[in-house]
Amino acid sequence: MAILGIDLGTTNCACGIWTDEGLKLIKNRLGDVLTPSVIGIDDKGNVTVGRIAKERLITHSDKTVAVFKRLMGTEHKIKIGKKDYTATELSSIILKSLKEDAENVLGESIDEAVISVPAYFNDNQRHATKLAGELAGFKVDRLINEPTAAAMAYGLHDKDEGVFLILDMGGGTFDVSILEFFEGVMEVHATSGDNFLGGEDFVEAMVNDMLGELGVEKESVNSKQLQTIYMQMETAKRKIGGKDAIEQTIQIHKKEFQWVSTKEWFDRITLPLMIRVKRPIERAIKDADLTPDEIDNIVLVGGATRMGVFRATIGKLFGRLPLCHLDPDTVVAMGASIQAGLKDKNAALNDIVLTDVCPYTLGTEVNNPSGGNEGGHYYPIIERNTTVPTSIVKTVQTSFNNQTELDVKIYQGENRLVKKNVFLGEMTVKVPKGPEGKEKIDIRYSYDMNGLLEVDVTVLSNGKSFNKLIEQTPGALTDKEKQASLDKLSKIKFHPRETEENRAIIAKGERLYESSLSEQREYIANILSKFETILERQNQQEIKKAQEQLTKILNDLDKEEWF
């Protein structure tokens, strides 16, 4: 049985499998490789995922949601329609839809997957991703870091040896990885990144600056108009590299503004973001103990790296042009599929071994090492960018006389104070009474290939040991909660596959109707109602013909840059 490789992205998802003939990306029910990570739910509990939902983001913004990957591993509940969902549940809906598509294409059931995560995802976020896979009915033995996946796709494609710097900027996250490929070994030297920096931030910066210039309070704009503005700015962002200026009509309240987005304006307002791009790159190079000259290839991954300003900045920093001949939107899915093939022990991939690193330092809390009984200090156990799997032991001791309990708290992060790091869990260990410093315990951290942590504690004097997989992480579920989630999700039904194409057309038509005016509006309303009459007649041939016609008309309308 095949294992599915999935790129679960902030803006788009894609999946593929490794077959005997090589890599195969899977097309969804609408015939696209990319499925937008957007979910819409109607009142009956029916779910739409992908392009249709994306079209409905404007027309039904309270029943649709996008860019929720950023909330993975947090305790936020997102209300769409009448129900609350966590980001994990929403992700699992997307995964379920991808699963259905893949099963439909392959004609067999698939119950195992390799899912990609940003390299800079922390433990909580990784657990949440894994859980999302499980809720969707996958066995998820392996998570793969997105830049590593991309590098695998490049390494395998070019059969190049050398050191790669991979810059992966998607919709919501930015990852930097340095990877060396030699003799069939892919060794990751270092990763770093920014979990809150992506293409969406550029759009956000544009929208905020534009509203500021026009003197409009963002809160005062209603959600429909705001979504339209976001989409317009998104369009402008995509086109700004090719043109010097893009003129758009922006509707706010009842007024219309002519807004010109110039390249110069765009460069100026996104400079703070580009400065943020630079820092993780510097850190990764430093951590890998390399100089910029020692990097053979710079690889760009993720849709946001298409931006002219991004390429120009990287060119400036390194004095050369980056590689980008594989489609940055699907390269991660390709890598994930290769990893799936590896996992499946596919013969063609037999002599490739991948080693990865842990992106953050992992440690525990101790008293101030320079004396005193003041707690809250961080004691690193596994340093960041250590090659995984790894298992490291550190010994700590009691800090006051007759201490009977030691609290082993587990943190992830780089700050010397635990408070500023991410809390992952804790366990309490009982030790025999004794004077300060007499009782010692060994703390062993084991970090596996998926970036998940296990902690073992042994009391040295009596040999008692305690083991814990991280518990109490935000977003983690008990069995009962998990079952409740499963029950909730099992009630969700996807729309029947056959009607999806028609729904996509109508959703797009509705979106265009919302964002256009007067005559154009009437025209769209007219053709949409005609289409609906044809649908009611249920004559397959007629429907097919109408679909083609209408798709063409709507595409032409859409190209007119939002009028």
Partner 1 sequence: MSVWEVLEIDETNDIKTIKRAYAAKLKTVKPDEDPKGFQVLHQAYKTAQKMAKNNSQAHFGEASVQVTHEITDTSKIDLDVGIEQVSEYSNINNTQFESGYTESGSSNEDYHAAPYLEETKSTVTDYQQVEQLELERLLVLVDELLLDDYKTNRIKNWSFITLTPYILDTEFNWQLGLGILKRLLDISNVQTHTLNYLNSLFNWKDDEEYICEVIGDEWCKSMLLRINNVQQKVDPVSGLRGSKSVKKVKKMANERLSYYFFGSDVKRLMALFIDLTLLLFVVHGLFSAYQLAFGELRGLEVKNPRLIMLCVLYLIYAWYFEISFMQSTPGKFILGIRVTNKDFRKVSKLRCFFRVLLFAATCVGSLFTLFINALLGGKYLHDRMSGTYVIDLRRSKKHHDTTI
Kindly identify the residues of this chain, within the stretch 391-450, that bind partner 1 according to CB under 8 A. Answer: 391, 407, 409, 417-419, 423, 426, 428, 446, 448-449
C-beta of residue 448 within 8 angstroms of C-beta of residue 454: yes
Q: Return the number of the residue (326 or 362) whose C-beta is nearest partner 1.
A: 362
Binding mask 175-194 for partner 1 (x = CB under 8 A): -------xxxx---------
Q: Scan residues 459-478 and list those touching partner 1 (CB under 8 A).
A: 472, 474
Q: Return the number of the residue (351 or 536) whose C-beta is nearest partner 1.
A: 351
418: phi then psi, degrees, rounded to nearest 5: -65, -30
Tally of CB atoms within 10 A around 439: 21
Cα 246 to Cα 205, 274, 303, 384: the distances in Å are 17, 22, 20, 44
Q: Return the number of the residue (124 or 550) whose C-beta is nearest partner 1.
A: 124
State the minimum distance, in angstroms, from the CB of residue 539 to partner 1: 35
Number of residues that bind partner 1 (CB under 8 A): 72
C-beta of residue 33 within 8 angstroms of C-beta of residue 26: yes
State the minimum distance, in angstroms, from the CB of residue 275 to partner 1: 6
Q: Scan residues 304-323 and list those touching partner 1 (CB under 8 A).
A: 313, 316-317
Could you write out the DSSP letters of every residue in 504-543? Answer: HHHHHHHHHHHH--HHHHHHHHHHHHHHHHHHHHT-HHHH
Query: What is the C-alpha to C-alpha distance for residues 479 and 483, in angstroms, rounded to an integer?
Result: 6
C-beta of residue 237 within 8 angstroms of C-beta of residue 280: no
As given in the structure block, the two tokens for residue 7 are: 């790129």
Please report, as a single letter, which amino acid is at residue 190.
Answer: A
Q: Scan residues 508-537 and list those touching partner 1 (CB under 8 A).
A: none
State the minimum distance, in angstroms, from the CB of residue 88 to partner 1: 12
Q: Scan residues 195-234 and list those touching partner 1 (CB under 8 A).
A: 196, 198, 200-201, 204, 227, 230
Q: Scan residues 144-163 and list those touching partner 1 (CB under 8 A).
A: none
State the minimum distance, in angstroms, from the CB of residue 400 to partner 1: 13
Query: What is the C-alpha to C-alpha distance for residues 104 and 304, in angstroms, rounded to an integer?
Result: 31
State the minimum distance, in angstroms, from the CB of residue 427 to partner 1: 11
State the minimum distance, in angstroms, from the CB of residue 132 to partner 1: 16
In 3D space, the residue among 534, 535, 507, 509 whose CA is nearest the CA of residue 521 turns out to be 509
State the minimum distance, in angstroms, from the CB of residue 136 to partner 1: 20
Three-state DSSP string of 205-257: HHHHHHHHHHCCCHHHCCHHHHHHHHHHHHHHHHHCCCCCEEEEEEEECCEEE
Q: Return the number of the residue (235 or 355) whose C-beta is nearest partner 1.
A: 355
Would you mind telling me the total number of residues written for the chain in this entry? 563
Binding mask 128-147 for partner 1 (x = CB under 8 A): --------------------
Q: For 41-44, which contacts have Cβ atoms below 8 Å and span 24 or more sequence positions?
A: 41/80, 41/81, 41/83, 41/492, 42/81, 43/81, 43/82
Q: Return the number of the residue (137 or 241) whose C-beta is nearest partner 1.
A: 241
Q: Return the number of the residue (375 or 435) whose C-beta is nearest partner 1.
A: 375
Q: Scan residues 30-89 and list those touching partner 1 (CB under 8 A).
A: 38, 57, 61-68, 70-71, 74-81, 84
Q: Scan residues 242-271 and list those touching partner 1 (CB under 8 A).
A: 264, 267-268, 271
Q: Return the number of the residue (432 or 474) whose C-beta is nearest partner 1.
A: 474
Q: Return the number of the residue (103 or 456) whose C-beta is nearest partner 1.
A: 456
User: 3-class DSSP state for residue 474?
Assistant: coil
Q: Which of 19, 235, 262, 390 binds partner 1 (CB under 8 A)?
A: 390
State the minimum distance, in angstroms, from the CB of residue 442 to partner 1: 16
Q: Scan residues 344-383 and list those touching partner 1 (CB under 8 A).
A: 351, 353-355, 374-376
Q: Which of 276, 482, 488, 521 binds partner 1 (CB under 8 A)?
A: 276
Largest CA distance in the chain: 88
Q: Which of 111, 256, 282, 522 binds partner 1 (CB under 8 A)?
A: 282
The three-point CA angle 335-340-343 to 5° equals: 130
Q: Return the number of the residue (103 or 267) whose C-beta is nearest partner 1.
A: 267
Query: What is the C-alpha to C-alpha distance for residues 142 and 451, in angstroms, rounded to an integer?
Result: 9
